[in-house]
Chains A and B, each alone.
Chain A
Amino acid sequence: MTDAKKPKKEIKPVKNPMPAQDPLVRAKNFNEVATGYTMETVIDEAKRCLQCKKEPCRQGCPVEVDIPAFIGLVAEGNFAGAISKIKEKNALPAVCGRVCPQEAQCEKYCTLGKKHDSVGIGRIERFCADWELSTGVKVPEVAPPTGKRVAIVGSGPGGLTCAADLAKLGHQVTMFEALHVAGGVLMYGIPEFRLPKAVVQAEVDNLRKIGVQIEVNSVVGKFTTVDALMEEEGFDAVYIGTGAGLPYFMNIPGENACGVYSANEFLTRTNLMKAYQFPDYDTPIKLGKKVAVLGGGNVAMDSARTALRLGAEESWIVYRRSHEELPARKEEAEHAEEEGVKFALLTSPTEIIQNEDGWVTGMKCLKYELGEPDDSGRRRPVPIEGSEFLMDIDTVVVAIGQGPNPLVPRTTKGLELTKRGNIVADEKAATSKPGVYAGGDVVTGAATVILAMGAGRTAANSIHEYLSSK
């Protein structure tokens, strides 16, 4: 647009909508909500890109994908070229195309977005990744073996990215996963209807193809330690990406009643263990008719939407600030609302009521109003005196956040931790222990998939540098 000599291109002001299942239909099934662009739509959307010189979108991408280049290739119909371009920087495009908060990253900076809708970068990325998965994945080239061995602890998005980068550089990578499948939060946390597990599985399989060894059922901190991996097992470096695997509770009376779940338990039963297919799958889940989800983030939205799909008649988000402050992605909150999730805003529980058998029968709550901004810059919620009321619910899901799982931090000698138990790592992902790097939620506290991937990328670069100088 800045170049006046170019013939003026007709720009569609509106982003091509993402085809999706009807809200009332999808609220009853676990199939993916967003069904993806067609070939025609994706080319049309790619042609909306101005291919501007400044490329501001690139600064918004934590893994530095060359966005204008791949979109240009899509506009020409060259999907193979586009996916190769993406994969130069992003090991998990099918995941990122689905769960990245693009509106706060690449799309936020899109030049087109100043006047019109920004280009649907995430949707185009997803198309390219799905196109490749359906036509056969090209195995990327791997550098000659360096003879160096790296252990990756935790196979979530950060670990997967770090593993992919290091394997491509020729290092021998072994990834240790505590659960029985690799993928971390992508498998146990994010629901099937947002991120099909077959997609995650395909991305994990791609890592195996470039030589990454994945050892599931391996809880580092229990069967071995980080120290033993380096001193006894001969690993030259270790990356810790164990995530935020410790659920926080409210610490209010009644929280151990039957019918109260942490979001981690609720989602793990449903996603990882496939409780929604019970009794064909053995793991059960039990919920009543009226579910209250405490919290307003993406995990809370996932839980509330999952509750509907499991058959809840009412599913409530209970959040102590207002709609504007919801930490969830706007799209996720909108999807939840469309599907029939109800919002009890400016509301927070004080006690979970149980019957004589210990089952939840209700929840005492207080109404809140917003006061002066707090340290986070958001207006502080202040309880309204005398506003106590009883919410008629029979199931509670606590989704107020997660801390770092202590198994690895506690068992690793000489690893500096914060007061909250997070691992201290510098901007290059180096910890206080030589050869040991860390990133993602275990360092930053609970955040997003893409930020963990960014950390995994940073750590891979640092580890490569460390190993090359050794």
Chain B
Amino acid sequence: MFKILEKRVFSPIIKELVVDAPKVAKSCKAGQFIILRIQEEGERIPLTIADYDREKGTITIVFQEVGKSTTQLGQMEVGDYLKDFVGPLGEPSHIEKFDGTVVVVGGGVGIAPVHPIARDLKEAGNHVIGIIGSRSGDLLFWEDKMRAACSELLVTTDDGSYVRKGFVTDVMKEIIEAKGKENIPMVLAIGPQPMMRAVCNLTKDYGIKTIVSLNATMVDGTGMCGCCRVSIAGSTKFVCVDGPEFDGHDVDWLELGRRGGIFRDKEQQAMEHHECKCGSGCGGAK
């Protein structure tokens, strides 16, 4: 059992939990993920590690409530226990001192997993420009943590309700134009698929290498089931053991999007089943 030690609510649907998981905290690296299970009947939920504290033995996760399981996770409070918590899984981010400016992009809840990678890139001696964006200002979180992790931080919102109006790609384009594409050896982008895809489309035009972290449907997370398979430059890879990070220009986004939707109607059914048990109009509460 894994105790929830801290909880922060960033918006009605975006929440942070700090979980007591010393075994994971001891060995995890930026870019890796964990799989958790809330209870005996629960499914295995993969989430990228947003932060860790080796001394305290804790792992921080940030998630958006999109279905029954994440909604239920959002209902959990400090002092509650998760049934299972396993990791670190997947390959760590590739960290090195690049020649030039590294740009990291976090969209929506994707800001969280970008954070430890940005921090490591900066610690490796890189000049790291961070771009974070969300639909609106009230959904934005960790601006302070990202400001500390990056050398420079730029913020944007789709609706212009905070700092400026525009997509992360708009900001990205301005940076590339200002710095010159030859001075940006690497871009890392994590966020919703359409956002990562848009970043890749932009950087492809400039010929800038772009790493993305994919969030695929998984079961075991150790390469055993192949549920998370994705086509990378024409060959099949498993996100759980070969990834989760890949060269975004090699990803078959159409296939990834389709495979991500395999259980969509089942997810709806699970949500309805969950709500109908409650009967208090709580919208998915316990």
Task: Give me the interface of A with B, judged by CB distance under 8 Å.
Answer: 178-180, 188, 216-219, 222-224, 245-247, 249, 255-256, 258-259, 261-262, 264-265, 268-269, 272-274, 278-284, 286, 357-358, 405-407
The answer to the question of B88 belonging to the interface, with a C-beta cut-off of 8 Å to chain A, is yes
A223 contacts B219, C-beta separation under 8 Å: no
> Whole-angstrom distance from the CB of B175 to the nearest CB of chain A?
35
Alpha-carbon separation in the docked complex, A279 to B265 (Å)? 12
Task: Pick from B43, B223, B262: contact of A245, CB below 8 A.
Answer: B223
The answer to the question of B231 belonging to the interface, with a C-beta cut-off of 8 Å to chain A, is yes
B227 contacts A265, C-beta separation under 8 Å: yes
Task: Pick from B89, B220, B259: contact of A258, CB below 8 A.
Answer: B259
Alpha-carbon separation in the docked complex, A359 to B165 (Å)? 38
Contacts of B255 in A (CB 8 A): 256, 358
Within 8 A of A (CB), among B73-89: 83-89
Within 8 A of A (CB), among B14-71: 23-24, 26-27, 37, 41-44, 68-69
Contacts of A262 in B (CB 8 A): 225-227
Given known A256-B259, A265-B219, contact A286–B225 (CB-CB < 8 A)? no
Given known A216-B84, A219-B86, A222-B87, contact A180–B37 (CB-CB < 8 A)? yes
Given known A273-B44, A282-B68, A284-B270, contact A268–B259 (CB-CB < 8 A)? no
Alpha-carbon separation in the docked complex, A273 to B270 (Å)? 14
Q: Which residue of chain A lies nearest to B269 when distances are taken between CB atoms in the complex? A: A279
Alpha-carbon separation in the docked complex, A84 to B109 (Å)? 57
Contacts of B88 in A (CB 8 A): 222-223
Task: Pick from A188, A217, A256, A405: contact of B223, CB below 8 A.
Answer: A405
B175-211 near A? 1/0 per residue, CB < 8 Å: 0000000000000000000000000000000000000
B85-99 near A? 1/0 per residue, CB < 8 Å: 111110000000000
* Number of A-B contacts defined by CB within 8 Å: 122
List of 4 A-B pairs having minimum Cβ-Cβ separation, nearest first: A284-B266, A358-B258, A265-B225, A217-B86
Contacts of A249 in B (CB 8 A): 226, 236
The answer to the question of B224 belonging to the interface, with a C-beta cut-off of 8 Å to chain A, is yes
Alpha-carbon separation in the docked complex, A360 to B77 (Å)? 42
Total interface residues on B, CB under 8 Å, equals: 45
Contacts of B285 in A (CB 8 A): none
The answer to the question of B5 belonging to the interface, with a C-beta cut-off of 8 Å to chain A, is no
Given known A268-B219, A278-B266, A279-B273, contact A256–B224 (CB-CB < 8 A)? no
Alpha-carbon separation in the docked complex, A272 to B84 (Å)? 14
Q: Which residue of chain B lies nearest to A217 when distances are taken between CB atoms in the complex? A: B86
Alpha-carbon separation in the docked complex, A30 to B143 (Å)? 51
The answer to the question of B151 belonging to the interface, with a C-beta cut-off of 8 Å to chain A, is no
Alpha-carbon separation in the docked complex, A219 to B21 (Å)? 14
Alpha-carbon separation in the docked complex, A358 to B231 (Å)? 14
15 A-B contacts (beta carbon < 8 Å): A179-B220, A180-B83, A188-B220, A217-B85, A223-B27, A245-B224, A256-B229, A256-B236, A258-B258, A258-B261, A278-B270, A279-B269, A279-B270, A279-B274, A407-B241
Q: Which residue of chain A lies nearest to B262 when distances are taken between CB atoms in the complex? A: A258
The answer to the question of B267 belonging to the interface, with a C-beta cut-off of 8 Å to chain A, is yes
Contacts of B225 in A (CB 8 A): 247, 262, 264-265, 268-269
Given known A256-B255, A264-B226, contact A218–B86 (CB-CB < 8 A)? yes
Beyond known contacts A245-B220, A256-B236, A258-B259: 4 more, CB 8 A cutoff: A217-B86, A223-B88, A273-B44, A282-B68
The answer to the question of B136 belonging to the interface, with a C-beta cut-off of 8 Å to chain A, is no
Alpha-carbon separation in the docked complex, A358 to B254 (Å)? 9
B266 contacts A286, C-beta separation under 8 Å: yes
Q: Which residue of chain B lies nearest to A247 when distances are taken between CB atoms in the complex? A: B226
Contacts of B236 in A (CB 8 A): 249, 255-256
Q: Which residue of chain B lies nearest to A251 when distances are taken between CB atoms in the complex? A: B236
Given known A180-B83, A357-B258, A358-B255, contact A280–B41 (CB-CB < 8 A)? yes
Alpha-carbon separation in the docked complex, A245 to B116 (Å)? 31
Task: Pick from B68, B87, B230, B274: contact of A223, CB below 8 A.
Answer: B87
A223 contacts B220, C-beta separation under 8 Å: no
Q: Which residue of chain A lies nearest to B41 when distances are taken between CB atoms in the complex? A: A281
Task: Pick from B42, B223, B259: contact of A282, CB below 8 A.
Answer: B42
Contacts of A286 in B (CB 8 A): 262-263, 265-266
B225-242 near A? 1/0 per residue, CB < 8 Å: 111011100001000010
B266 contacts A218, C-beta separation under 8 Å: no
Alpha-carbon separation in the docked complex, A273 to B83 (Å)? 14
Q: Which residue of chain B lies nearest to A357 when distances are taken between CB atoms in the complex? A: B258
Q: Which residue of chain B lies nearest to A255 when distances are taken between CB atoms in the complex? A: B236
Contacts of B229 in A (CB 8 A): 256
> Whole-angstrom distance from the CB of B105 to the nearest CB of chain A?
27
Alpha-carbon separation in the docked complex, A259 to B227 (Å)? 11
Alpha-carbon separation in the docked complex, A284 to B67 (Å)? 13
Q: Which residue of chain A lies nearest to B241 when distances are taken between CB atoms in the complex? A: A407
Within 8 A of A (CB), among B231-286: 231, 236, 241, 254-255, 258-259, 261-263, 265-267, 269-270, 273-274
> Whole-angstrom distance from the CB of B44 to the nearest CB of chain A?
7
Task: Pick from B42, B222, B262: contact of A178, CB below 8 A.
Answer: B222
Contacts of A280 in B (CB 8 A): 41, 273
Q: Which residue of chain A lies nearest to B229 when distances are taken between CB atoms in the complex? A: A256
Contacts of A268 in B (CB 8 A): 219-220, 224-225
Given known A217-B86, A219-B89, contact A284–B267 (CB-CB < 8 A)? yes
Q: Which residue of chain A lies nearest to B252 when distances are taken between CB atoms in the complex? A: A256
Alpha-carbon separation in the docked complex, A259 to B262 (Å)? 8
